Amino acid sequence: MELTPLLAVMLVLPPTFAVFYLAWTAASRRRRSRCYLLDYVCYKPADELTVTTELASAIVQRNRRLGLPELRFLLRLISRAGLGDRTYGPRNIFEGREECAAQQDAVDEMDACFDGAVPELFARTGLRPRDVDVLVVNVSGFFPEPCLASRVVRRYGMREDVAAYNLSGMGCSATLVAVDIAQNAMRARSPRPVVALVVSTESLAPHWYVGKERTMMLAQCLFRSGGAAVLLTSDPAHRGRAKMELGRLVRATTAASDDAYSCILQREDDDGFVGASIGKALPKAALRAFAANLQRLLPRVLPAMEIARLTADLARQKLLQRVQRVKLKINLKAGVDHLCLHAGGIAVIDAVKKSFGLEEHDVEPSRMTLHRWGNTSASSVWYVLSYMEAKGRLKRGDKVLMVTFGSGFKCNSCVWEVTGDMADKGVWADCIDAYPPENTANSYMEKFSWINDVADDEFSPF
């Protein structure tokens, strides 16, 4: 409250009424500074953009820079990446133009994602584009002018006073950065109710790596097309129909560490081809960033007894560190019911599972999302959340820990509380009954294992 209205209240009203008025105003501000998830929609690309095993093989084999050693290496990568046979890619790779993508390819890719998620989200919530007060769009590797946020405003006819933000270069963790920006905008405008639209996706069309450097080949085996649109609000009048309410949101960046900064790095290879270099230090960097994030998050979400146990274990560790190494065991499930983990890759999922003593059930949504959709960058956690919802795991009162990892290295996390009915199968509607499959092995190894049986002097794929 500004000073002048405050003085007016104190001078005009009797002390009792003044105190009551100030308490009511403070409570109103708190109510309107909350953040509710009205709904979200994950984007499902057209069936004609499905990256089958045969297409993956065709893309690999038409790269004339690859010799037999590189093809064998790619065979191992593809077969171990954890992706299935129904992920999606950008249209230019289906037309054989991965080496000469135009800007229009990226624009068309973005428009398809926007149109595949945003209109459906408005239809499901009953809101209109002109109801949006805050717009946040995050796409890491494509930043045209005008920006993509302006493109969304123009495409759907939003108001002239909409606060539009465009995030680029933030990597796979950007969706929670976008949520953080939306939440801060809500607080800044309190007590006025705010509706915020967050759009998270990634542009693959101009970034399909066509070189032969091994540290840069993994990206084309992991990243696939996808996206999500999310509607948030601070209006308590919408709480009754919201799916979840946002609790704590914590961000951590370990970019001061050389290893963390360079474990995912976009650069040119020796032949001048641009791609994302993914180093072996990635799982350790992810765990270090996660640990830094949890140092701030856990005291806010764990029950008092679990915090007391951790404090005692930490004290014992300091006493015994000269004699023996005592590993702290953090029970994440003591404060939350579900883990919504970024589907970044098998190595990261396994590292988090092992380090925190999680069960396979806890990481199943992330592993299945990786298998069905691949790593869709910042939007992947919404596919993971949709898997949980489609499986009927989310009940009123449940708390969901959402964790994202991204280049930098960054780890962002937040806790959602389920407040409404979550029984929508969403983007998983046509396949959820088939998950988890008995075998998640990619058929690439089965169909193309002959590469391992061919001698170098006999090989000629063209």
What is residue 39's predicted lDDT score, i.e. its pLDDT? 98
Residue 322 — pLDDT band, cuts 50, 70, 90?
Answer: low
What is residue 374's predicted lDDT score, i.e. its pLDDT? 95
Which tokens is 284 given?
């350790």
- Per-residue pLDDT of 222-234, as tens digits, reads 999 999 999 999 9
Q: What is the extent of the structural domain holding 156? A: 34-442
Q: Check if the beta carbon of residue 197 is closer than 8 Å to that of residue 136.
A: yes
Residue 248 — pLDDT band, cuts 50, 70, 90?
Answer: very high
In sequence order, the β-bridge partners of residue 307 are: none
Task: Check pLDDT > 80 for residue 442.
Answer: no
Task: Check pLDDT > 70 for residue 456.
Answer: no
Distance CA 238, CA 126 (A): 11
Averaged pLDDT for residues 21-43: 69
What is residue 23's predicted lDDT score, i.e. its pLDDT? 46
What is residue 461's predicted lDDT score, i.e. its pLDDT? 39
Averaged pLDDT for residues 180-186: 97
What is residue 460's predicted lDDT score, i.e. its pLDDT? 42
Is 404 part of any domain? yes
Residue 452 — pLDDT band, cuts 50, 70, 90?
Answer: low
What is residue 139's predicted lDDT score, i.e. its pLDDT? 97
> Which residues are within 8 A (CB) of 257 and not within 5 positions of it... i.e. 6 or more apart?
285, 288, 409
What is residue 56's predicted lDDT score, i.e. its pLDDT? 83
Task: Check pLDDT > 60 for residue 3.
Answer: no
**Percent of the residues in the chain that have a pLDDT greater than 70, as a whole number:** 87
Is 248 part of any domain? yes
E strand spans, 262-367: 264-268, 274-278, 338-341
User: Whose CA is closest to 215, among 298, 274, 277, 272?
Assistant: 277
Is 230 part of any domain? yes
Which of 8-17, 35-44, 122-131, 193-202 shows the lowest mean pLDDT across its residues? Answer: 8-17
Is 460 part of any domain? no
Number of neighbours of residue 411 by Cβ within 10 angstroms: 28
Is 20 part of any domain? no
Number of neighbours of residue 282 by Cβ within 10 angstroms: 22
Residue 29 — pLDDT band, cuts 50, 70, 90?
Answer: very low
- Per-residue pLDDT of 156-181, as tens digits, reads 999 999 999 999 999 999 999 999 99
**The model's pTM:** 0.89
Structurally, the chain folds into a number of domains equal to: 1
What is residue 22's predicted lDDT score, i.e. its pLDDT? 43
Task: Check pLDDT > 80 for residue 341.
Answer: yes
C-beta pairs of 326-335 under 8 Å, 24+ apart in sequence: 329/357, 330/294, 330/298, 330/356, 331/306, 331/357, 332/356, 332/358, 332/401, 333/358, 333/362, 334/302, 334/303, 334/306, 335/298, 335/301, 335/302, 335/303, 335/306, 335/399, 335/401, 335/415
Task: Check pLDDT > 50 for residue 146.
Answer: yes
E strand spans, 315-363: 338-341
Instruction: Give every strand in the sheet of 410-418, ordered side by side.
Output: 163-167, 134-139, 195-201, 227-233, 36-42, 244-253, 410-418, 399-406, 338-341
At position 212, the amino acid (one-letter code) is K
Q: Check if the beta carbon of residue 200 is closer than 8 Å to that of residue 230.
A: yes
What is residue 310's predicted lDDT score, i.e. its pLDDT? 76
Distance CA 338, CA 385 (A): 10
Task: Check pLDDT > 90 for residue 199.
Answer: yes
Is 9 part of any domain? no
Give the DSSP per-residue string, 66-87: --HHHHHHHHHHHHHS---S-E
Alpha-helical segments (H) within 85-173: 91-94, 103-125, 148-156
What is residue 21's predicted lDDT score, i.e. its pLDDT? 42
Cis check: omega of the bond before 193, within 30 degrees of 0? no
Is 11 part of any domain? no
User: Whose CA is closest to 145, among 106, 113, 119, 117?
Assistant: 106
Residue 377 — pLDDT band, cuts 50, 70, 90?
Answer: very high
What is residue 451's predicted lDDT score, i.e. its pLDDT? 67
Is 210 part of any domain? yes
Distance CA 294, CA 284 (A): 15
At position 26, the amino acid (one-letter code) is A
Query: Which of 257-266, 313-322, 383-392 reaches the highest mean pLDDT?
Result: 383-392
The domain that contains 126 carries what CATH number? Answer: 3.40.47.10
For 2, 5, 139, 188, 249, the CA distances from 21, given in Å and listed in that order, are 14, 12, 44, 21, 31
- Per-residue pLDDT of 412-435, as tens digits, reads 999 999 999 999 999 999 999 999
Task: Check pLDDT > 60 for residue 343.
Answer: yes
Averaged pLDDT for residues 27-50: 84
Residue 18 — pLDDT band, cuts 50, 70, 90?
Answer: very low
**Phi, psi dihedral angles at 247 (to 5 degrees):** -100, -115
- Per-residue pLDDT of 69-117, as tens digits, reads 888 888 888 888 899 989 999 999 999 999 889 999 999 999 999 999 9
